[in-house]
Amino acid sequence: MSDEILISAKDLTVGYNIGKGFFDRTVLKAVNEVSVEIKRGSFFGLVGESGSGKTTLGRALLKAAPITGGHATFTDGEVTYDLATVSGDELKDYRKRAQLIFQDPYAALSPRMTVRDIVAEPLEVMGLTKTREETDARVREIAAKCRLNLEHLRRFPHAFSGGQRQRISIARALVSGPKFIVADESVAALDVSIQADVLNLLKQLQKDLGLTFLFISHDLSVVAHTCDHVAVMYLGRLVESAPTRQLFAAPRHPYTKALFSAIPSLDPDDRGRAQKLVGEIPSPLNQPSGCKFHTRCPNAIDKCRTTEPTLENPGDGHAVSCHRWRELLEAAITA
Ligand code: SF4
């Protein structure tokens, strides 16, 4: 991993106007003032419950959701795109450089197309190859990298297992030669034994092709083994962000602690110790005042109900948004 920043977002906001008429200007903020920096060549994990805004953030960075506030840039060598305003030919170029791997390998592939045509389609749509021979050569090259047999290229998706289908989806995402990949719950629909196979493939491809991943997942054990850095989202906001080892060794935000304690353990002594996450994530249309987590936080005090904490970075690369993180950390050390 290099120190170069490939994706930089500052106060990025994604809002949808859901008002019912001309005078109703209700805006739903699915992502609210999120700042992240994703280093080139890294595997950046994004976690949180359903409704936390992680998928919307990934889509905004692919220019598939509207950026309505803040800034986001993509920098690849000499090229820098402002993701809030990129359009026209620049947007077409950005689509070659940034791609999505879908969650569901069953729904993502057209049952009427052969594997060859599925993988070749982005090349043809983007005009990246001029002849059929050129297209076939590129399809064969990327299929081999994704561990697909060349004889599979003539078959239809229904002939394949879930893991093989996901490798076809990965080949399709990589055929245009992107640098940035958003993998949104890309192994969630697969059996556990197949998940490891697909994750190993993604890590290998990252190394071989110099890819940078935004890996969106609700599965913290997968994130712990795959990602270099993890950011935690709650109700559209970033609440904690740190290198993976640091985050898993000593989470600072009560929400992150609750997520971690819910990871199933094989140790019988650990069972029952889980700090349960009570209630559900509030509606983004009816957000609590102050800290958005206070309605579910076991450590909430009066200040939490009135004042929203800011994301604080104490200088060790471990940022957290909580009024009480220092005293909670000290209490945990002395306990
Ligand atoms: Fe809990 Fe208060 Fe920290 Fe929010 S600011 S996470 S409510 S202790």
- Per-residue DSSP letter, 296: T
CB distance 206 to 21 below 8 Å = no
- Which of ligand 1's atoms lies nearest the C-alpha of 325? 3
- Which of ligand 1's atoms lies nearest the C-alpha of 254? 6
**What mean pLDDT comes out for the span 252-281?**
75
User: What is the CA(244)–ligand 1 centre distance, in A?
Assistant: 22
Give bridge partners of residue 229 from the DSSP assignment. 44, 243
Look at residue 266 and tell me whether its pLDDT is greater than 80. Answer: no
Question: For residue range 46-90, what is the model confidence (pLDDT) as tens digits?
Answer: 999 988 999 999 999 999 999 999 999 999 988 999 999 999 999
- Which of ligand 1's atoms lies nearest the C-alpha of 328? 8
**What pLDDT, on a 0 to 100 scale, did the predictor assign at position 251?**
94
User: What is the CA(226)–ligand 1 centre distance, in A?
Assistant: 28
Reported pTM: 0.92
Give the residue, by CA position, lying nearest to ligand 1 atom 5: 322
For residue 189, CA distances in Å to 165, 206, 250, 275, 313 come to: 11, 21, 30, 27, 35
Residue-level length of the chain? 335
Residue in 322, 326, 330 to alter for ligand 1 test, most ligand atoms within 8 A of Cβ: 322
**What pLDDT, on a 0 to 100 scale, did the predictor assign at position 162?**
87
**What pLDDT, on a 0 to 100 scale, did the predictor assign at position 18?**
83
Token pair recorded at residue 32 = 């609210």
pLDDT band at 30 (very low <50, low <70, confident <90, very high): very high
CB distance 17 to 26 below 8 Å = yes
Domains and CATH numbers, the chain: 5-233 (3.40.50.300), 248-334 (no CATH)
- Which of ligand 1's atoms lies nearest the C-alpha of 303? 2
- Around ligand 1, the residues with Cβ closer than 6 Å are 253-254, 291, 293-294, 297, 299-300, 304, 309, 322-324
User: What is the CA(261)–ligand 1 centre distance, in A?
Assistant: 17
Question: For residue range 117-153, what is the model confidence (pLDDT) as tens digits?
Answer: 999 999 999 999 999 999 999 999 999 999 999 998 9
